[in-house]
Amino acid sequence: MVKLCVLCNENRAMIKRPKTGQQICQQCFFYVFETEIHNTIIDNNLFKRGERVAIGASGGKDSTVLAHVLKTLNERYDYGCDLFLLSVDEGITGYRDDSLETVKRNQQQYDLPLKIVSYADLYGWSMDEIVQEVGRKNNCTFCGVFRRQALDRGAVMLGVDHIVTGHNADDIAETILMNIFRGDVARLGRCTEIFTQGESMIRRSKPFKYTYEKEIVMYAYFKKLDYFSTECIYSPNAYRGHARTFLKDLESIRPSAIIDIIHSGEAFEIKSDIKMPTQKTCERCGYMSSNTICKACMMLEGLNKGLPQLGIGRETTRTRRQLSDATNNNEETEQRTTRKTVQHFSKIERDTTIAPIKPRDPSLVNTPPPRVPTHILDDSTKSEKKDLSW
């Protein structure tokens, strides 16, 4: 017997929503997916009319769906926002160079201006060079710190008021678990916020805060969106991967575990007598920091002086001694410090002309096929092989 959609009761049910378990048709899924995101935007007053909004675009499923949905909702509900695509080129050969080609195609498909900033231009180091220097144990720490600041720098160049990122409910739940495991009270209080404040009064928000990753994959699949589906080649050793595995095990037992963890994180209260870090401004680059020198500048100094562990973890007497020795009597240090130093935020100039960036011939780019989502009720798509990619 054909099961009908529980929402419209007219069309055949094709999808079982991972978030609610409802069996619905494709058109109703599109409607509820987009409407839930619209409600998140309205309930939290994410946008203001006339605001210039940069969409953090990596070419992956989250940012591609975010760009598509925001453009659709901006036109449908007349938010009055000017949308831009903002990408960061970390310099990862065989991964980021191919995924950026997807972003360039998205630029044409959605008719949105695109700005690309690179680690090499901003910091004088690419991620490939950083990994050669530090190995694969702490490389994600460098990338995360540099990418966050790179997005804010790109936003200043674009002259935008607001950055939106594709962080979904799964990402936020993973971050909550990671901060609990590490006992990081300061980050635990911030990671559940839908708004965070960046440099130069640039706001950041996460419209996908309550959106499941599986439903994002499902939306991209049925909408036939053009996205890059391969994970970063340096990410298998990341600490986040362990939290993700744990979360997926919980979700398989209790699908609501993701949203439950987020609500639990929102309900956390920090005791009044707990000393929290105060926000300052980095003396070197002008970026926000809890210390006189920000994490990015410390890491960059360590790289330039041959001490890549300098900016990781707590500063010790040993690292200070190593830094002093390297500064005083290492000729190689002088050669390293000739690398480009990071530009002060107050000196960043706005890019008034954003020329279209033409993508390469798709036949010359490695573009993996999109993921086939689970929870599809169509018999023709069923397979005996279980999808373990989640």
SS (H, E, C) the chain: CCCECCCCCCCECCEECCCCCCEECHHHHHHHHHHHHHHHHHHCCCCCCCCEEEEECCCCHHHHHHHHHHHHHHHHCCCCCEEEEEEEECCCCCCHHHHHHHHHHHHHHHCCCEEEEEHHHHHCCCHHHHHHHHCCCCHHHHHHHHHHHHHHHHHHHHCCCEEECCCCHHHHHHHHHHHHHHCCHHHHHHCCCCEEECHHHCEEECCCCCCCHHHHHHHHHHHCCCCCCCCCCCHHHCCHHHHHHHHHHHHHHCCCHHHHHHHHHHHCCCCCCCCCCCCEECCCCCCEECCCCCHHHHHHHHHHCCCCCCCCCCCCHHHHHHHHHHHHHCHHHHHHCCCCCCCCHHHCCCCCCCCCCCCCCHHHCCCCCCCCCCCECCHHHCCCCCCCCC
Whether the pTM exceeds 0.95: the reply is no
Q: What pLDDT score does 184 carry?
A: 84
Q: What pLDDT score does 327 carry?
A: 53
Question: Under a CB-based contact definition with an 8 Å cutoff, are residues 156 and 350 in contact?
Answer: yes
From the number of C-beta atoms within 10 Å of its C-beta (0-12, 13-18, 19+), residue 374 rates as middle
Q: What pLDDT score does 323 carry?
A: 54
pLDDT in single tens digits along all 390 residues of the chain: 789 999 999 999 999 999 999 999 999 999 999 999 999 999 999 999 999 999 999 999 999 999 999 999 999 999 999 999 999 999 999 899 889 999 999 999 999 999 999 999 999 999 999 999 988 878 888 999 999 999 999 999 999 989 999 999 999 999 999 999 888 887 887 888 998 865 556 899 999 999 999 999 999 999 999 999 888 888 877 788 889 999 999 999 999 999 999 999 998 877 766 777 778 889 999 998 888 889 899 999 999 988 887 767 655 455 555 555 655 555 554 555 556 678 899 899 988 777 778 887 777 777 777 777 877 875 444 444 444 444
What tokens does 117 get?
A: 């900033």
Nearest Cα to Cα of residue 214 among 172, 244, 169? 169
Question: Under a CB-based contact definition with an 8 Å cutoff, are residues 37 and 211 in contact?
Answer: yes
Dihedral sign for Cα atoms in the order 306, 309, 311, 316: negative
Nearest Cα to Cα of residue 250 among 169, 193, 348? 169
Q: What pLDDT score does 160 carry?
A: 94
Question: Under a CB-based contact definition with an 8 Å cutoff, are residues 148 and 160 in contact?
Answer: no
* Cα–chain center distance at 346: 25
Q: Cα dist. 309→40, 136, 199, 306, 315 in Å?
A: 40, 12, 26, 9, 10
